[in-house]
Amino acid sequence: MEMYKAKESRYADMVYRRCGKSGLLLPAVSLGLWHNFGSVDVFSNFIQIAHAAFDNGITHFDLANNYGPAYGSAEENFGRILKKGLGHYRDELIISTKAGYDMWPGPYGNWGSRKYLMASLDQSLKRMGLDYVDIFYSHRPDPQTPVEETMGALVDIVRQGKALYVGISNYNAEQTEKALAVLKEHRVPCLIHQSRYSMLDRWTEPDLLPLLKQEGVGMIAFSPLAQGMLTDKYLNGIPENSRAAKSTGHLQREQVTDEVVAKIRQLNELAGKRGQTLAEMALAWLLKDERVTSVLIGASSVAQLMDNLKALGNITFSEEELQTIENILA
């Protein structure tokens, strides 16, 4: 494979949004490496996905220490992608990683201690062949570790130059408020909150989103397609090769009820009237909200990536369409 050279027109069509009150702009669509980039996947496929993403203005690549499978392999593979040419564009890339979930055996390979976060980031940098990441996240709150310790580690990571910005993920509104207060005290603001958010999963709406807006923190939504439920995959129930059929991942068979399938079908009908696929409409519905800086998509092929990018063609909804969506989801 010859050395990758990025398309000159890569910034022509992407929309960039300011992340909270920071100076950083993120693409409205970011690429998550949670699935499809591990040691069990095909390298020639995912290097093509990464290149197609950047060629279309996706500057943000989101990882975590244990993305794979196997743990660490998504970062290793991303390191290989950087070495094969994407790394020439390092100053045009936003690379994020996280620590907080299970990573290595024993008491120091999980949760939110300073010991774990510091060691994990050092390992991540080594795997990717980087001197720093752009964003480093505490991947989840730790009920046993004082928030001062977890956030203090993030502050020192920025001061050591190992991350330019810090974020938190999977923190509820109350936990977020405490974390932001500690970071503010140290004058290292929280750049971004990464949270699960989709038409079918709206737990962030009552108090987290208003808090982030008030505090000037950006928000990036993961699982915007509800693990594939907001695609045409489940319109006729559960297909054989789907995540739900295997019930191995985060989507279990019992989540795809007849009631949910009925809602998905109605949403799909509305999407058709808008000239969109259900997936495009689901992404557009999140991006209609200015508090959502970016949506994090996964992709198993270049074609799927390109389909998702079409969502940017129409992110405005009429009052009537919004009301229809509320009625369907009620």
Number of domains comprising the chain:
1
Is residue 120 assigned to a domain?
A: yes
Is residue 28 assigned to a domain?
A: yes
pTM for the whole structure: 0.96
Is residue 270 assigned to a domain?
A: no
Cα angle, residue 298 at apex, residues 40 and 198 outer, rounded to 5°: 135
Q: What is the residue-level pLDDT of the chain in tens, covering all 330 positions? A: 678 999 999 999 999 999 999 999 999 999 999 999 999 999 999 999 999 999 999 999 999 999 999 999 999 999 999 999 999 999 999 999 999 999 999 999 999 999 999 999 999 999 999 999 999 999 999 999 999 999 999 999 999 999 999 999 999 999 999 999 999 999 999 999 999 999 999 999 999 999 999 999 999 999 999 999 999 988 887 777 777 777 666 777 787 888 999 999 999 999 999 999 999 999 999 999 999 999 999 999 999 999 999 999 999 999 999 999 999 999
Range of the domain at 72: 16-231+278-316
Rounded alpha-carbon distances, angstroms, from residue 169 to 52, 139, 201: 27, 5, 16
Write the CB contacts of 253 (distance below 8 Å, at least 6 apart in sequence): 238, 244, 245, 247
Domain with residue 110: its CATH number is 3.20.20.100
Is residue 269 assigned to a domain?
A: no
Comparing C-alpha atoms, which of 193, 191, 198 is closest to residue 220?
A: 193
Is residue 252 assigned to a domain?
A: no
3-state SS class at 132: coil
Is residue 285 assigned to a domain?
A: yes
Is residue 5 assigned to a domain?
A: no
Sequential DSSP letters for 16-79: EEE-TTSS-EEESEEEE-SSS-STTS-HHHHHHHHHHHHHTT--EEE--TT-SSSTTHHHHHHH
Question: Phi and psi dihedrals of 99, rounded to 5?
Answer: -145, 145
Is residue 62 assigned to a domain?
A: yes
